[in-house]
Amino acid sequence: MRAAFSLLLCAALAGPAALAQETKELKLDGYAEWRDRGALVIEGQRVRLAPGGRFKGGGDARDFASVPLGYEVKVKGTRQRDGSILAREVEAKPNGDALFEGELKRAFDEQETQFRRAGRMFEQDDQGRMESYGRLLERGPQVERVRRIAARLVPPYMEPEDFRVYVVENKEWNAMAAPNRSIYVFSGLLDAMDDDEVAIVIGHELAHSTHEHSRKGFKKQILIQLGALGLIGIAEGAIDSEGWKMAAQVLTMLGASAWSSGYGRSHEDQADRVGLRYAWEAGYDVTKGPQLWQRFADKYGEGNKVVNFFFSDHSQSLIRSRNLRQELAYNYGAQ
């Protein structure tokens, strides 16, 4: 099994020459995170605008070359032989305040304050029963190690100080990033993984945070809940102050439960791709990615009773491992 696995990995790393040009159109929806030899890195992918390609810009994005890092970018294009994407259409706009963003952050700020006050990370069920995940560490060698790694992973348009990193004393391999930019890493994961592996896991969690997957995933739920509360007919941008107050309450309510329900498949895939790029840009060995998935699958493959935020959907682990191998070939083959 191991031998076959490394063979596949080697095939994937054979380099750009092994890749075929695809004609199928791809869509990306992410942030401009780096520039790489004339290409803009969006969703972990190197993107170039095709000659005669359409560009639509907002804010300071006047043309493809001037898109500021951190801008929200939508791309339509095709995969090239060198693994990059040639765009037929690019749309870039400032990453502004979106619906519910502030409310969601406040709900998680409140949760973080509660964790710190209690000195532990916990979840409360409908009946108010508290389930503890373990002691919350704010100092010590493990905290220093994980903070050092996380600080290197933050994309250039954000400040490492914007993120707060904690260690939770728990033997499981787990990590999570909340939408208010607090990150929690279990000590079991830190004990079992080297820095490259920890960087890949935190990179994945960080991408959920930078790409606002919570808010995007919650939006539909929130609107349904607001409708159920009698605030029917609420459209984006047309919520009165009473409606906002309700939205904040609904978010606080959804906050905890959403952590256990995890993110959707497409957000997980995006976090894998973007997280890998974060780790790579920071100089970590991302070729350990596929093996890391295998390690999670070996440990948590069957009967996983623990809610695992990183390894949320274990039935998909081999597919994710394969996707990461493809990513390594597309975007990191020459490295």
Minimal distance in Å, beta carbon 285 to Zn ion?
21
Q: Which is nearer to Zn ion, 49 or 198 (CB)?
A: 198
Contact 49, 34 (CB under 8 A): no
Q: Which is nearer to Zn ion, 149 or 223 (CB)?
A: 149
Minimal distance in Å, beta carbon 57 to Zn ion?
31
By DSSP bridging, strand 85-93 and strand 45-57 are parallel
Minimal distance in Å, beta carbon 118 to Zn ion?
25
By DSSP bridging, strand 120-124 and strand 130-137 are antiparallel
Residues between 137 and 196 with contacts to Zn ion, criterion CB under 5 A: none
- Phi, psi (deg, nearest 5) at residue 132: -90, 140
By DSSP bridging, strand 39-42 and strand 85-93 are unpaired
Task: Give, as one character, the DSSP assignment of residue 67.
Answer: P
Q: How far apart are the first and last CA of the chain?
A: 26
Residue whose structure tokens are 């609420």 = 234
Other Cβ atoms less than 10 A from the Cβ of 85: the count is 25
Minimal distance in Å, beta carbon 185 to Zn ion?
13
Q: Which is nearer to Zn ion, 49 or 177 (CB)?
A: 177
Nearest-angstrom CA–CA distance, 84 and 52: 18
Q: Which is nearer to Zn ion, 203 or 333 (CB)?
A: 203
Minimal distance in Å, beta carbon 309 to Zn ion?
6
Residues between 105 and 124 with contacts to Zn ion, criterion CB under 5 A: none
Contact 87, 81 (CB under 8 A): no
Q: Which is nearer to Zn ion, 91 or 172 (CB)?
A: 172
**Left if phi > 0, otherwise alpha if psi is -120 to 50, otherwise beta: which for 186?**
beta
Q: Which is nearer to Zn ion, 86 or 199 (CB)?
A: 199
Minimal distance in Å, beta carbon 271 to Zn ion?
5
Q: Which is nearer to Zn ion, 47 or 271 (CB)?
A: 271
Q: Site map for Zn ion, 230-269, x if CB under 5 A?
A: --------------------------------------x-
Contact 109, 139 (CB under 8 A): no
Instruction: Give me 26's structure tokens.
Output: 């791809």
Residues between 45 and 104 with contacts to Zn ion, criterion CB under 5 A: none
Minimal distance in Å, beta carbon 240 to Zn ion?
35
Q: Site map for Zn ion, 21-50, x if CB under 5 A?
A: ------------------------------
Q: Which is nearer to Zn ion, 9 or 271 (CB)?
A: 271
- Residues binding Zn ion: number (CB under 5 A): 2
Encode burial over 134-146: b for 16+ CB neighbours within 10 A, e otherwise. Answer: bebbeeeeebeeb
Minimal distance in Å, beta carbon 312 to Zn ion?
6
How many helices (H) and strands (E) would you count in the chain? 10, 10
Beta bridge partners, 165, equal 183
Q: Which is nearer to Zn ion, 154 or 206 (CB)?
A: 206
Residues between 268 and 287 with contacts to Zn ion, criterion CB under 5 A: 268, 271
Beta bridge partners, 90, equal 55, 75
Minimal distance in Å, beta carbon 318 to Zn ion?
16
Helical ranges in the chain per DSSP H: 2-12, 101-118, 141-153, 187-192, 195-210, 213-228, 241-261, 265-281, 289-300, 317-332
Binding site for Zn ion (CB under 5 A): 268, 271
